[in-house]
Amino acid sequence: MAASEQTTDANTNVPEYEYPDVNTKPFHIGSFKKEWLSRLKPSDYSYEEADEDAFHANFAREMGVSAETMAELKAVCSVDSLRCHPEDQQPDTEVVPPDPTLRTLVQRKERQDHRASLKKIKKNRHDLYADELERLTIGRKPETVTDMVPEGEIILTINVYYPAVFDKFNYIRPHMTLLMTGSHSLAELRDAVCCVSDLQVCGEFSNTPDVAPEFISKDHYKSAFFFFEGVFYNDMRFPECQDISSTTIEWAKSHNFPSYSQAKMEDTLLEDLKVKVGFPYLYCHQGDCEHLVIITDVRLAHKNDCLDKNLYPLLTHKHRVLTQKCAVCHVFIGRWYTTNDQFAPSDPCLFCDKCFRMLHYDAQGNKLGEFLAYPYVDRGAFN
């Protein structure tokens, strides 16, 4: 192979921006991983702590300075020599001088003043703990070596957005953020996505409110697909699964659109994908519940990452929404909604379990009046 052809193939493996600060051009994740590993030394992505003496020796050799000069630089540039207080005085690192001149101290002073002003504002407890999941897993290591994320493994950051029908947030912030390794399959990504439509209960239960339903939607309607770069990845793990992407593919053929291909999501690893970082892709389940999926980062695993592979897919952030309260008491979360209800102030109307039973049934549990009742699963169930 000619040198120019090798250079061209290598460049296709490296993410390059198609639109600055928006998304990259398509690249193959597995080839990107191989490209990094071919250019880096094993010590560059090793989890072992670097030897400080070896680091300084390599630094001196690359900078072309002698060992004596390096020792002098270490002494002059030591952290211990960076002080603005007498040597015999122990400083308080949390206190910034009132009129700092160093740029870093000025910025730190501004940050401290900003935090002090925020304490006066009552913050939502959900906002305070928004990143708690990520903080709990930073640097976490497994108990056994076999459960360690391999060195040189690819880690992807994936944002999953609200369904398109949830207009309030679907274009602003993601519902959840996941960290996954390149060795995970698309089926594992699908299982990690939490959506309230999977928990819905099908059926009308006004005559038998105490009868527990036999299944939720996810147990009955198991078909789903991801769409990445012209390929529909269908979930075909169960006999009940159907190819729900075929309708779209046939429609595209009849309208002279570019042809689409198909694959099984359970047989496709994330590192097998060809994607654009920052570009919105599609996850569809429950027939027409559509989520945007955006891969925001693809990188090598670092020693400060969570290295327990059993914790992946790793949920690092989940957006919290307001719960829908009962239309009667305005205290408890809604569990039933009714239609054609002569006792309700609106149609449809949301009720908590207590208000629903008190208003629609007598002491013996007999139905009063005519109405239709359906179980309701609140979006705040994932809070």
Chain mean pLDDT for the chain: 83
**For residue 282, what pLDDT is reported?**
94
Q: Are residues 229 and 364 in the same domain?
A: no
Helix runs in the chain, H state only: 3-12, 29-39, 52-63, 67-76, 103-118, 125-128, 132-137, 186-192, 217-220, 246-254, 353-360
274 and 371 share one domain: no
pLDDT at 30: 93
Same domain for 285 and 340? no
Residue 151 falls within a domain, yes or no? yes
Residue 325: inside a domain = no
- Of the residues 319, 345, 360, the one at which a domain ends: 319
The pLDDT value recorded for residue 166 is 52
- Which of 272, 289, 319 is where one domain is finished? 319
- Is 76 part of a structural domain of the chain? no
- Count the domains in the chain: 2
Q: Is residue 340 part of a domain?
A: yes
Q: Residue 6 pLDDT more than 50?
A: no
Name the phi and psi angles at 59, rounded to 5.
-65, -45
pLDDT at 7: 41
Among the three residues 293, 319, 345, which one is the final residue of a domain in this structure?
A: 319
* Domain assignment of residue 50, yes or no: no
Look at residue 110 and give its three-state secondary structure.
helix
The alpha carbon dihedral of 362, 363, 366, 371 has a sign of positive
- 88 within some domain: no
User: Do 225 and 346 fall within a single domain?
Assistant: no
pLDDT above 60 (res 60): yes
Confidence of residue 235 (pLDDT cuts 50, 70, 90): very high
Same domain, 243 and 376: no
Residue with the bigger pLDDT between 266 and 76: it is 266
Longest Cα separation, the chain:
94
> What pLDDT sits at residue 231?
94
Whether residue 349 is predicted with pLDDT greater than 50 in this model: the reply is yes
- Pair 244, 165 in one domain: yes
Shared-domain flag, residues 166 and 222 = yes
Regarding predicted confidence, which is higher, 247 or 171?
247
Q: What pLDDT band is residue 276 in, cutting at 50, 70 and 90? A: very high
Same domain for 241 and 347, yes or no, is no
Question: Which residues form the domain of 372?
Answer: 336-382
What pTM did the predictor assign? 0.76
User: According to the model, what pLDDT value does residue 17 have?
Assistant: 75
* pLDDT of 273: 94
Average pLDDT over residues 280-300: 92
Same domain, 274 and 368: no
Report how far residue 360's alpha carbon sits from residue 254's, in angstroms, rounded to the nearest whole number.
52
User: Are 361 and 309 in a shared domain?
Assistant: no
Looking at the structure, do residues 378 and 285 belong to the same domain, yes or no? no
DSSP symbols for 230-266: TEEEE--SSTT---TTHHHHHHHHHTTPPP-EEEEGG
- The pLDDT assigned to 32 comes to 92
Q: How far apart are CA 162 and CA 319, in angstroms?
A: 10
357 and 253 in a common domain: no
Question: pLDDT of 144-202, one tens digit each?
Answer: 888 899 999 999 999 999 887 655 544 567 888 999 999 999 999 999 998 888 888 88
Residue 271 lies in a domain: yes
Classify residue 63: in a domain, yes or no: no
Instruction: Name the residue with higher pLDDT: 190 or 204.
Output: 190
List pLDDT tens digits, range 99-109. 778 888 888 88
β-partners of residue 281 are: 293
Chain segment 114-133, per-residue pLDDT in tens: 777 766 555 555 555 556 66
